[in-house]
A and B are shown apart, each in its own frame.
Chain A
């Protein structure tokens, strides 16, 4: 009895050892398979296709070295897309953060109807951007769209424009829709950030005679810098990612006036069947995303310390 108990223990111990050694790899196996197949492989394959001329159908790809990259650097639509990205990034992040912070602070004070107001701002977050884009595209339609109908109704016919076909307005329309979608997200992020600030700090500030504005500018705002930084990073990645609303509202037009990186890659690859060029652009977009993230993470660390 005694010895079999020891043997059992040894066997069990071996079982545990085996479990300790092998289980970790079994546990990460599904994730690794999915990652290699749908992330790593496409990532590497991108680099390869970027050196070829390929229409996506023909089994033969023509090797052209760095030609796609040289074309990309000279492509005026690429320049336009990058310029638009900068405009998009600064305006959306600034406005979304300002509105989101304002709403979070005021609604956090427990005013009447706060839940309702918060819900209204959050509806667009839950709505599929593809649906949102369709709603806005129709509303901005020049002859039947509600926006122009409304403007004409209040006697401002001169302001009724062909919104999405006007090179000076198209980008701004899409930007406003982006703000409409993502302000709720900023608000929730700030709401979470505000909850993390200890109440005692405000009590101390009040004792020191700080008025509400001073409490906000000297206490709340600086203490939220982690949230500001998160929103900056997410805003930058979001700008480079944005596709649905651009494609469905303006398709990047007119004449690339509202062109954005993701939409341009899609257009070149799938509408013009230039898969090689599309891949080269994708590699460049990846590099830009990586660069932006590294820069921002550095800032983030600097701010936090």
Chain B
């Protein structure tokens, strides 16, 4: 299973995204990101199965939650 990651601005937003995705039956987990991945210093991301990438991105955009793709899949 390939894992996709979206970076969030904070742990709080990462938790919000995790709850949101799980509410849509997309299993996810919060992961710590390296400063080089965020370009902003310490950060958090949400990891999920790349098979759900399309769905997950659509859900985030509908909820107007900002994100940055760290590790994605082709749309």
A and B from one complex: no
